[in-house]
Amino acid sequence: MAINLLPEKEIIKSLDKKEIIKKFVCGVLCSLAVIVLVNIYLKVSLETKKVSLKKLQSKYKEYLSLREAKNKLEKEITELKRKKVIIKRASPQHRNWTSNLIRLTELMPEEMWLNKLAANTNLNTNTIQIEGFLFTLDIYKRPISILNDFIKSLNNTDVFYNINVRNIRTVSLKGKEALKFNLSLLTH
């Protein structure tokens, strides 16, 4: 049995001091535990946010590459549309020129050959410049009459009009009389 000879006030004070120390130690331990738990919570939360941020970054990179691919495809589509318009514009003209040239060759007499054919297309007119030679083996036919028949046949078509003789002259080719000519005409 322990006998305490201290006065009662001192005993109460010493008990109060021990109690205060116990409470203080307990408070410090609880505070440390709270700090440790908060720290653990923040670390877990931070790691979760890091993982989410990495996923978000990879999705953003994927989005950027998709957006870049989309922009590239849009440019290609725009370029293809532009080319399509050009082809649509040129295609009827090409068919017209082809059919016009076929019609021209159908009308040419066999005594005629061309050494120059130039086409010029403006907004509203299509001009053809023809330069060539005419000769005849038939002594009763003159080259000028063959050229005149050719010009008449051009005028009688719905393809050619406004035929102008720009130059005509007689030349000698291998001892034979030939006619060198230069015509200009318009086409529809």
Query: pLDDT, tens digit, for every residue of 114-161?
Result: 999 988 876 567 888 999 999 877 777 888 888 999 999 999 998 888
Strands, sheet with 176-187, edge to edge from the N-terminal-most edge strand: 112-121, 126-135, 176-187, 160-173
CATH at 124:
3.30.70
Residues 76 and 145 both lie in one domain: no
Q: What is the SS3 assignment for 91?
A: helix
> Given a cut of 90, is residue 16 above it in pLDDT?
no
The boundaries of the domain holding residue 175 are: 108-187
Using the 3D structure, point to which of 77, 107, 137 is the last residue of a domain.
107
- Mean of pLDDT values over 73-79: 94
Q: DSSP class of residue 175?
A: T
Is 5 domain-assigned? no
C-alpha angle 181/183/184, rounded to 5°? 165
* pLDDT at residue 6 in the model: 62
Using the 3D structure, point to which of 85, 107, 129 is the last residue of a domain.
107
User: Is the separation of the CB atoms in 171 and 180 below 8 Å?
Assistant: yes
Residues 103 and 44 both lie in one domain: yes
Among candidates 185, 137, 132, 179, which has minimal Cα distance to 157?
185
Which two tokens mark 135?
């000769």
Q: DSSP class of residue 140?
A: T
* pLDDT at residue 135 in the model: 84
> Given a cut of 60, is residue 94 above it in pLDDT?
no
Using the 3D structure, point to which of 39, 73, 107 is the last residue of a domain.
107
* pLDDT at residue 36 in the model: 93
Residues 153 and 130 both lie in one domain: yes
* pLDDT at residue 182 in the model: 95
Q: What is the SS3 assignment for 61?
A: helix
* pLDDT at residue 12 in the model: 66
> Given a cut of 70, is residue 2 above it in pLDDT?
no
- The count of structural domains within the chain is 2
